[in-house]
Amino acid sequence: MSSSEFDQLAAEIGRDIVARAAPQELPLYRSVSAAYLQSPSDVSGESIHKEEILGFGVAEAVTYITPVALPVLSSVLTFLAGELKSSIHDQHLIGDTLKKLFSKNKPSVPQISSEVLLTRDQLERVRKLAFEKARELNLKSKEASLLADSIVGSLATTA
């Protein structure tokens, strides 16, 4: 998969992650994900003008998870694709497998083995990667931890 395919998949999966980590931000999700897909390198926690979103200038203390969730998810998906390459013979199914890992409500894809599960070690590496990427994008430690936990929680509850 290309980096733009990982970005697209991150935007698709990201809504559920934001719903877990910061449900109050769901009204922002559509516009943030659209901006992210137009220019993934420009979207970060600091790229949203908080005053424009809220309509007044008292948002300096607010930290948004949504803009950081997408690049973090893209990094996690890239990592997971690398982990899955050896267990999936048809490389075109990696995107479908990643979707399945993140959502147990989606219909299962018949060609994907239900035995594609992540180990505890892989989940720990996903959490560490997500946390570090979120901090790199200037998300505060508390919110970075919440985002990382939400991503791992989505993966762990689908297995």
More confident residue, 45 or 63: 63
Distance, in Å, from the CA atom of 121 to the CA atom of 11, rounded to the nearest integer, reads: 25
Token pair, residue 156, equals: 């762990």
pTM of the entire predicted model: 0.76
Closest CA to 114 of 99, 93, 95, 100: 100
For residue range 4-55, what is the model confidence (pLDDT) as tens digits? Answer: 788 888 888 899 899 989 999 999 899 988 888 888 776 554 444 443 444 4
- Model confidence pLDDT, tens digit, residues 87-123: 666 666 777 777 777 765 544 444 444 445 788 898 9
Q: Which helix (H) or strand (E) holds 26?
A: helix 26-38
| Position 58 pLDDT exceeds 50 | no
Residue 100 has what pLDDT?
A: 78
Q: Please state the rounded mean pLDDT for residues 144-159.
A: 83
Q: Is the pLDDT of residue 154 over 90?
A: no
The pLDDT assigned to 7 comes to 84
Q: What is the pLDDT of residues 134-143, one digit of tens each?
A: 999 999 999 9
Considering only CA atoms, give the Rg of the chain.
16
Residues in Cβ contact with 21 at an 8 Å cutoff, skipping those fewer than 6 apart? 65, 69, 143, 146, 147, 149, 150
Kindly indicate the confidence band of residue 76, based on its pLDDT and cuts at 50, 70 and 90.
very high
Contact yes or no for 70/7 (Cβ under 8 A): yes
The predicted structure's pLDDT at residue 92: 65
pLDDT of residue 89: 63
